[in-house]
Amino acid sequence: MASVNTFINFPGTTEEAFAFYKRVFGTDYIGEPMRLGEEAPEGAQNMLAHIALPTIGEHVLHGADAPKEMGFELVVGGNVYIMLEPDTRAETDKLFNALSEGGEVVQPVEVQPWGSYYGICVDKFGTKWVFNCMAE
């Protein structure tokens, strides 16, 4: 079955970020996280090459470390957000509060003129999240 998922690179904080996301979403990793291993430069060998975690619905969040030791230059941009559309306002509040802990609330979750329960936050790892719940 075809699907669309999200893949995020981190500057050596993937394991910490995904442990946080695992607590937030209450799900388990898909398979075992893979390490960069012995062929990676010193200092990067124990970093993650791949990890995957279900979030809500059929969405899976994937991630990997992109260390400078391997030539990566990460630039955190403002043009990509992960949009979550929980089934209830209670679930929206729970996820929003958990993801914004230690991060930044850009727009508190509240009912918008178009009728949805909507808010925006940036988590403590710099990942941007948009919430849009149509339930009343």
Q: Which of 70, 93, 109 is the last residue of a domain?
A: 70
Evaluate if pTM is beyond 0.85: yes
Q: Which of 21, 41, 70 is the last residue of a domain?
A: 70
What are the pLDDT digits (tens) for 6-36?
999 999 999 999 999 999 999 999 999 999 9
**Dihedral in degrees, nearest 10, Cα atoms 108, 113, 117, 118:** -50
Number of domains in the chain: 2
Is residue 86 in a domain? yes
Is residue 53 in a domain? yes
3-state secondary structure of 95: helix
Q: Which amino acid is it at 127?
A: T
For residues 129 and 89, state if they share a domain.
yes
> Can you give the CATH number for the domain in which 94 is found?
3.10.180.10
Q: Are strands 128-133 and 82-84 parallel, antiparallel or unpaired?
A: parallel
Contacts of 47 (CB under 8 A, 6+ apart): 12, 14, 15, 35, 36, 40, 65, 67
1, pLDDT greater than 80: no
For residues 16 and 64, state if they share a domain.
yes
